[in-house]
Structure formats: structure tokens, C-alpha cells
Structure 1
Amino acid sequence: MRRFGLFLLFIFCLNGPVWAQDTYRLAKVAEGVYAALAAPGGAASSNALIVDVGEQVFLCGAHFTRKAAHDLIAAATEVSDKPIRAFVLAHHHPGYSLIDFDIPANRDLVMNIETRLVTRQEERVLENPLIFFKNGMTFEGSELTLVLINVGPAHSDGDLIAYIPQRKILFTSDVLYFNSAGFLGAGSLSDWLSVLDGLETLGADKIIPGFGLIGTSVDLAHFKAYLGDFVATVRDHIEKGDSLETTLQNFRLPEYEQLPGYEEFTPGNVERAYLQLKEEISGE
């Protein structure tokens, strides 16, 4: 009996998926559109998007380790038998050459021009065929249209969002966090708030953030309130003449202290915001 069990296990392994993946949890958002939600403790630190436009599939996201990139491909093959057209890189942070550079070289890589300029300064060289744009780019298939819009700087120096107009689905990568304090990036906090105003005008029914579960405009409004209160509180400390050390010691946002990641991210977020906003205020 034991031998028979081992035999069945062996047969299962032979016939199992080529890319058994544990990085993402798939959630169907609409026909042809899937959220690849980063699994806790997995290889991905950010959510991704899978879009089957009719003849081809597009994969959107950021912070791709080698495993995360391959696991996203594996996830896409679970929901579509169409060929993968390209990866869309939503943003890239300077100095992180261990991510975003190991996407399989036979896949096209799409990004905005700001992200291309950032990746060009890294020690490693991208080996993919590159497609980059200034304002926006549209891929129109027989079933769906994927619209890419350059909205940066916000979370980074070059953020893009993806929108599927037929389904009113928005993918923001780390421009939005739902139910999380999150890492407030390396872009422009003031511009980030303006970007959130613009996202609200899209009227998306469903929104896939960089971290957290699929949400709606209500969740967007919650994050916008959090970011606005965060920026305003740091600015108040600066205008009172508080030093960075005093600001770090006394900074409080009691309404948001229960958010996941608040204790982990707040000190670094406050320091970055203080230095950026102080420079802005001194130049006013």
C-alpha cells in the first residue's frame, strides 16, 4: 500500500504544473482580469495584475524578484492559455538592482520614461526588449483594452497605473495601500496627493492596490485621508520649528495607529517626509 501511495505521488508530480507557485493568491476581478495578491511571507512584496485582452496577456506589477516574476507567469497560465505579451513595470526604486532585473529575457518590458531613466542608472542592465512612453500607452485587444497612464512622481519618481475601461478596474501598484500604513516611497508627497485626486475622477468600480485586498473608491478615500493627515502633521511640526528628532519623538496619528505596518514604517516615513517638506517650505 505504501508503494502504491508513493507511486501516485510520483505520477502527480509528473503531471503537475510546470510552475507550482506560492507567491500570489489569485482573485478573479472580472472576465479576463485577475488580481495576483501577494501572499504573506512569499516572494512578492506587492500585488500584481493579470489582464487577458483577447489574444494576449499582460502582467503588471513591481518589485519583481526572479521567483516573483516566474510565479506571476505561472499564475497567468492558470487562468489563460493566451501568450504573455509583456510585463508592465509600475515603478522602480533606485538602488534596488536585485529586483525587476530578472524578468525572463524573452518577455517585453513596458514602463514610463521616468522609470526607464531610474533603471538605466543601476549597476545591472535590463536584458528585455524595452517599451517606454512619456504620457500613456494603450493596448487594445478584441475583448479588453489596457490603458497605461504615467502619473508620477508620487510613490516613486515614475509611477504608472493600469486601467481597464470596459470593466472599470484600476490597478495602482504602490500608489495606493488598502488597510496598511505602507512605505511612503521616494517620490513627491505633495504630487502624490494630487495624483489621488485624479484617481478619484476615473470612477473605478474595483481597485487593486499595491498592498491589501481588492477595494473600491471608499478605500481610495480612506488612504487619501491617511496620507493627507500624515503630510499635514509633519508640516505642522516643521512650521512650529521642531527639529527632525523632536518630530520623530512627538509624531502621533492616533486615528491610524492600528493600521498594519504603522509601527514598522512610520519612523522612516516621517523622516523622509520631514526632509522633503522642509525643503519645499523653505523654497516657498
Structure 2
Amino acid sequence: MRTLGTIGTLEEQARERREKLDKQHGVASNLKKVARGLWWTGFIGAITIIPAAIWYTGKADKWLVMAENESIRLSAELGMTVKNIEVSGREKTEPDALLAAIGKKTGTPIITFDVDAARERIEELSWVRTATVERQLPDTLIVSVIERKPLALWQTEDRGHVLIDGDGEQLQNYELGDYLDLPVLVGDDAPQHAAEMLATIQTIPHLYDMVTGAQRIGHRRWNIQLSNGMFVRLPEKDMDKAWQRLEILDRDHDLLNRDVLIVDLRLPDRTFVRLTPGAAELRRNPPKKEGAV
């Protein structure tokens, strides 16, 4: 008859054997994973490094061509072909134009894909400011784009209104009606200098909300048009200080609600105003009081 101590010893021995087998199984599983990883790494190295090594040794002959062709064939057989194209950041860029710029169709070998050339083609699209293209082996292309942000409408003599961004780039493929709330710019060099000016006037939101357009004067400075018909002449330098002065004048003297046509802020120490024609006429010829001779 076995005692409790003997049974406990047998159970401990069985548990030790199970733990030993589990450890051996885990080691074997890990070794298989490592082996697969090493094989995959070795294969990729073989199909990419060996042809390159042959090239750099100066033996760029039929052996190099054969090695490259064989590498491409083997990679395709093992599933290293373009099956997925993942795109992020696209809103305005037309999908068909983007796919054409990427330049690869599904099923083609992924190792032959030139990511730099694809990036350059994508960045030539009107709405794309920058792009990145990456291969994610074995079968996916990762494309990320940062699109341009519409800033204003540029009024031209021959093309009407053209949508531009902060870099002065002219955008294409858009509905003009979607952007009629943007300021209208006039001047042949207006697109190249608009970003600085608009950044300045946006610092005072309630004044910016009144801006309907801006005219570039003499390639040096801006005249700003407001929705009440008033024109604000800004200086060549220190636009921000002049714009802040306009806010102070409006706050202290209710300037924007007066019959003023032009507010000239070009001089830092004084402000000139020109009344509207009607207000100027009334000032020159004030109405006579009743009963006056």
C-alpha cells in the first residue's frame, strides 16, 4: 500500500517531466520561428544584395541580368508582388490621377518598384504638397500625401479667378463655387507674397472676417478691401503694427462704421482718412438749417 508521501513523490516526478517536455516544445517552436526569419532575411538578402554585389565588382554582364531576373522571378513565386496599395492623406487629389502617378498595378514584383520615382511623380500632382512612398514586404505599398491648403483666389486677366495655396502654387481640378469665401488677390506677384500678408491680418479675426480682397501695389505692399467698401493702405514694413492700429482706431473711434473710403496706415506715427464722396460733399456743403437766410 502506497503512502501519501509516495504518491506525492510520483506526482512531482510527473509534473517535472511535463514541464521539461513543455520547455523542449517551446524551444523547438522558437527555433522554427528563428529559422523562418533567418531564411526570409537570407532570401531577401540574396535577391537584393547579390545582384548589387555583382554590379559593384564590375561584372555587369549577362550574369547580373540573369541574377536579377531570377531574383524577380523567385520573389514573385513567393508572393512578393503588389497586392495592396494603402493611401492616407488624400482628399482633393483625384484617385485615378494618384494611381497613375504611383505607376504600379497589382501583381507586379514589389522589389522592382522605385519608391523615389513614384514620390516625384506624385508630388507633381496639383494638390499634393509632399508625399512619401514605402514598400511593406511582402505585398503592400504605403503611400502618404500631404495636400495643399487653399489660401485665396488670384484674379488674373486671362484666366479669371485661380485658386492658390500658401506657396503661391496654382491648384487645379476644383469647383470655384466652393471657395468664393476666400479673399480675392490682385497683382502679378500677389501669389508669391500672399501668405505673409494673410497670416498678418488673420491675427485679428473680426477684422479678417471683413476682408474681401487685397491688391498688391508696386511689388512692395498691400491695399486691403473690406466688406463695407473701405480700403486700408498697409505699409511695406511692419504690417502687423499697422493692422493693430486699425483695430485700436475702430475700438476708440468706431472707424469702420463711419463714412470713410480710405484709411491710410503707411506712416507709423499718423493716420490719414478719406471720406466717401457723399460724406465729403456733405462736409463741403452742409445742409442749411431751416429759417436760415
Same fold (TM over 0.5): no
Structure richer in helix, relative to its length: 2
Bigger RCO of structures 1 and 2 (CA < 8 A, at least 6 apart): 1
TM-score (norm 2): 0.21
TM-score (norm 1): 0.22
